[in-house]
């Protein structure tokens, strides 16, 4: 059985908005206390959640971006060194990408998204 993307656009956009808000909140807390691994784990879990939904609905670019955000967040959480400025900056870029993704998906252009460059930057961190 193949899923009809159109039936799930609103659900996806609501979930993506909630994930974006969770990441924004965690980033704010990390700016105050970069050593707070709990906030890094919030980002990891939020990224994981949206990754699954994105890939299920075949919004591959968003799914891959969120997979990279999840992986780098896990790396920083497990490293015990907290968040560094490069990590925080790239996550701000992820938030911008999510905003653009939500807009494009709402307008029916979700399959044209390409976050390969940002995804690669996250993987290299």
- Please give the structure tokens belonging to residue 16: 């993506």
Give pLDDT, residue 4: 65
Give pLDDT, residue 110: 86
Statement: residue 21 has pLDDT above 90:
yes
Statement: residue 5 has pLDDT above 70:
no
15/29 Cα distance (integer angstroms): 21
Query: Whose CA is closest to 77, among 50, 45, 49, 117?
Result: 45
Per the document, the length of the chain is: 125
The range of the structural domain enclosing residue 42 comes to 5-124
Say which CATH number the domain at 110 has: 1.20.120.160
55/76 Cα distance (integer angstroms): 24
Count: domains in the chain: 1
Residues 41-82 pLDDT 10s: 999 999 999 999 999 989 999 999 999 999 999 999 999 888
Cite the DSSP H helix spans in the chain.
9-32, 37-56, 60-79, 85-106, 116-124
Helix/strand/coil for 107: coil
Query: Whose CA is closest to 88, among 33, 21, 14, 48?
Result: 33
């Amino acid at each position: 059985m193949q899923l009809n993307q159109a039936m799930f656009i609103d659900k996806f956009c609501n979930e993506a908005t909630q994930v974006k808000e969770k990441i924004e909140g965690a980033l704010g807390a990390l700016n105050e206390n970069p050593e707070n691994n709990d906030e890094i784990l919030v980002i990891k879990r939020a990224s994981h959640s949206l990754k699954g939904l994105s890939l299920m609905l075949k919004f591959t670019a968003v799914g891959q971006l969120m997979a990279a955000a999840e992986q780098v967040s896990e790396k920083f959480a497990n490293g015990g060194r907290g968040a560094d400025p490069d990590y925080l900056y790239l996550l701000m870029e992820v938030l911008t990408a999510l905003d653009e993704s939500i807009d494009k998906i709402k307008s029916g252009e979700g399959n044209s998204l390409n976050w390969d460059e940002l995804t690669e930057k996250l993987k290299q961190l």
